């Protein structure tokens, strides 16, 4: 299975958690790491190139820090620009049919804070529903997310353990993830 990780961290070089996740993927031969903030410093997304990349991979992972209950702005722009009517959805928009998608996110809050009625009022799955809806509207298969909680306070050992779990999670078959 060919996997593309679309990284959307505005300052990846200063992120201990997202760097740890990215570092763990370096030696994986079937994983392409695509850094949007490095690629599009001017925010002018090459839509045709991005669409061609999507066609080349079986699974796409959106890796980003959880910002204000959503993704960073360049990833939102990527969704708006790349997933177009007639290509990703609507009449003739079946290019992503059969593709698998998942979110890999880091959050400063603990897992207890992302519970129904907790500090953030909702579970992480509930808060990721707009991305899930986007994927399913584009005929893709949305797979369970990978979340590293408490990333700001996590020790180096914790982040290394999370990175190993992350690499395993994004390579796990759909059959196992969706059981």
Taking only the tens place, the pLDDT of each residue in 133-142 is 999 999 999 9
**CATH number of domain containing 76:** 3.40.50.360
Domain around 47: 3-178
Distance, in Å, from the CA atom of 128 to the CA atom of 12, rounded to the nearest integer, reads 21
Task: Give pLDDT tens digits for 26-83.
Answer: 878 889 999 999 999 999 999 999 999 999 999 999 999 998 888 899 999 999 999 9
pLDDT tens-place string over residues 68-124: 888 899 999 999 999 999 999 999 999 999 999 999 998 876 667 677 887 768 788
> For the segment 138-157, what is each residue's pLDDT rounded down to a tens digit?
999 999 999 988 777 778 88
Contacts of 97 (CB under 8 A, 6+ apart): 139, 140
| Residues 65-84: b if buried by 16+ CB within 10 A, e if exposed | bbbeeebbebbbbbbebbbe
Q: Is the pLDDT of residue 172 over 70?
A: yes
pLDDT of residue 120: 65
Query: What's the domain count of the chain?
Result: 1
pLDDT at 110: 63
Token pair 């990284």 is at which residue?
Answer: 7
Which of 7-16, 120-129, 141-150 is most confident? 141-150
Q: How confident is the model at residue 9 (pLDDT cuts 50, 70, 90)?
A: confident
Q: What is the pLDDT of residue 27?
A: 79
Tokens of 41: 């410093």
Percent of the chain whose pLDDT exceeds 90: 57
Q: 48 or 125: which carries more pLDDT confidence? A: 48
10 Å CB burial of residue 14 (0-12, 13-18, 19+) is: exposed
């Amino acid at each position: 299975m060919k996997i593309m990780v679309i990284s959307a961290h505005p300052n990846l070089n200063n992120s201990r958690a997202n760097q740890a996740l990215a570092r763990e993927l370096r030696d994986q031969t079937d994983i392409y790491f695509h850094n949007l903030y490095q690629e599009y410093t001017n925010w002018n997304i090459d839509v045709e190139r991005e669409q061609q990349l999507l066609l080349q991979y079986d699974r796409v992972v959106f890796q980003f820090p959880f910002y204000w209950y959503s993704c960073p702005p360049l990833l939102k722009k990527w969704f708006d620009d790349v997933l177009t009517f007639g290509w990703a959805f609507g009449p003739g928009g079946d290019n992503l049919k059969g593709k698998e998608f998942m979110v890999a996110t880091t959050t400063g809050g603990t897992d207890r804070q992302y519970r129904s009625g907790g500090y953030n009022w909702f579970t992480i799955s509930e808060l990721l529903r707009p991305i899930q809806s986007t994927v399913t509207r584009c005929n893709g298969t949305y797979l369970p997310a990978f979340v590293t909680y408490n990333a700001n306070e996590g020790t180096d050992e914790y982040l290394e353990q999370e990175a190993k779990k992350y690499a395993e999670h994004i390579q796990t078959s759909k059959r196992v993830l969706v059981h």
